[in-house]
Amino acid sequence: MTRVNHSFPPFYDKNSEILILGSFPSVKSRELSFYYMHNQNRFWIVLEKVYETKIGDSILDKQEFLKKNHIALWDVIESCEINNSSDSSIKNIKVNNINKIIKETNITKIYTTGKKAYELYNKYILSKTKINAIYLYSPSPANCAIPFAKIVENYKVINKK
């Protein structure tokens, strides 16, 4: 078990309306300093299907897509003890101040990617934000029990106008 701090900032701007929260960045995301960067994570591919567009592989491409669609990304956890990238190993957490983003944006909808993020958001953050989160399936390669098409269908709620 290693104590790890979240090593990069949330991604948002003043026009963000949607906040997608993960639990804590994977080892690969921490190395590359951006969200959902493990090459087998399906997050970006799912968003391509939901928004019917090609996002691109660079971090800049991903950021442009997020800005265009008023999406902010962050994680529930600021620091924790964790083995590699395993959510099930997470212990001794300190949560992020999600209200910081909410005060600086137009966020009215919050989504969590995976059970751990959803549980921790409800336990530690909901009472502060007063915004109910909507649970989304984890796009992690470790979540192979849920078929890709079902994950895409689940994420379509993000793009409903």
**Where do the structural domains in the chain lie, given as residue ranges?**
2-159
Sequence-ordered alpha helix ranges (H) in 33-157: 43-51, 59-68, 98-103, 115-120, 126-129, 148-155
Per-residue confidence in pLDDT tens, the chain, 161 aa: 789 889 999 999 999 999 999 999 988 999 999 999 998 899 999 999 999 999 999 999 999 999 999 999 999 999 998 888 877 888 999 999 999 999 999 999 999 999 999 999 999 999 999 999 999 999 987 777 899 999 999 999 999 76
Specify the pairing of strand 77-82 against strand 91-95: antiparallel
How much is the pTM?
A: 0.95
Length of the chain, in residues: 161
**DSSP 8-state assignment for residue 11:** B
What amino acid positions are annotated as catalytic residues?
41
Q: Decide if domain 2-159 falls under CATH 3.40.470.10.
A: yes
How far the first Cα of the chain sits from its last, in Å, is 43
Q: How far apart are CA 62 and CA 149, in angstroms?
A: 22
